[in-house]
Amino acid sequence: MMTDEVRTMPTAGQPQLMRWSVVLPGLAALTCALVLPQFANAYVTEVATTALLYVVLCLGLNVVVGYAGLLDLGYAAFFAVGAYTSGILTAEFGFNFWLTIPVAMVAACVAGIIIGAPTLRLRSDYLAIVTLGFGEIVRIIARNLDITGGASGLIGIERPEIFGFRLMQVQHFYYAFLVLALLTAFVCLSVERSRMGRAWFYVRYDEDAAAGIGINRVTAKLQAYMMGAVIASVAGCFYAAKMTAISPESFTFNQSLLILLGVVLGGMGRIPGVVLGAVLVALLPEVLRGAGTYRPLVTAVALLAIMLFRPNGLWPDKRV
């Protein structure tokens, strides 16, 4: 006996309903973020600042992994390029912090081209190995050069100044990272809806079909790789300014893995999901601090449980 399958067609109001289901929680979260330092102590504000840093980094990696489908296991290398470029220019040569940002962006672009141009033709598994090696190479170079401070790290990085007001307190950097996170999300959303963003989407899910409609696969991948590198470098500039001292151990493979975990955990290709995943990765270890020496184990089990129940992420991309 055959039965007819009944398909429910979306009504005209459903897209608006879905849009508001994202906008309203977003506005509520933004309101809470704006007033948080007024009610929280220094420790909570510091943790929240770290969470915002992870939001920026995860949004940047989402361009590479979530939009273009490129597995990057050395993303912290571009974070290091930005941090060391800004740190060296301010600490060693007396540059103004704001002038170091475009220099760091250019340095990240050059590094992205050097690594991406010859390797983006490879399959994703080979690309993962190459990016992993690149991340370790950058860390080893930073550990062995005198200008980077070697293994001891680079110290004396100057804090930024805005209209004569110098950023000194943790609350100042909280708002700086909040603005940076909002700008990054806006740029990512704009690019996602652009022609280039659609090209990345096609390349991610079917490279042959993308080539068939005239998309240059290597160029599209390289654009995504460079954009992700630029975002990480800007985050590195602000990180170096906040810490005033950086060392190679801040940019290990574990850092790259945590950033990737935030993207996958939240939902690749989905900005709200990536933000949620980044915040969770940053906050969960602090929430579980009471577990003492078992904290890494409890954190890993909690993250594994989330992935088992939500294999596509907490806020998956509904387009696929």
Give the pLDDT confidence score for residue 28 in this predicted structure.
84
Note whether residue 3 is domain-resident.
Answer: no
Note whether residue 290 is domain-resident.
Answer: yes
CATH code of residue 209? 1.10.3470
Give the pLDDT confidence score for residue 134 in this predicted structure.
93
Note whether residue 283 is domain-resident.
Answer: yes
Q: How many CB atoms lie within 10 A of CB 320?
A: 10
Residue recorded with tokens 């996958």? 264
Note whether residue 217 is domain-resident.
Answer: yes
Query: What total of structural domains would you count in the chain?
Result: 1
Note whether residue 116 is domain-resident.
Answer: yes
Which whole number is the average pLDDT over 271-276? 93
Q: Which domain holds residue 264?
A: 41-309
Q: Which of 126-130, 193-197, 267-271, 277-281 has the lowest mean pLDDT?
A: 126-130
Note whether residue 28 is domain-resident.
Answer: no
Q: What is the pLDDT of residues 128-164, one digit of tens each?
A: 888 999 999 999 999 999 999 999 999 999 899 988 8
Q: What is the pLDDT of residues 203-239, one digit of tens each?
A: 988 888 888 888 898 899 999 999 999 999 999 999 9
Note whether residue 57 is domain-resident.
Answer: yes
Give the pLDDT confidence score for residue 246 in this predicted structure.
96
Q: What is the pLDDT of residues 30-74, one digit of tens each?
A: 888 899 999 989 999 999 999 999 999 999 999 999 999 999 999
Handedness of CA 96, 33, 273, 249 (dihedral sign): positive
Which of 297, 203, 289, 259 shows the shortest CA–CA distance to 61?
Answer: 259
Q: Strand (E) positions, the chain?
A: 154-155, 161-162, 165-166, 245-246
Note whether residue 86 is domain-resident.
Answer: yes
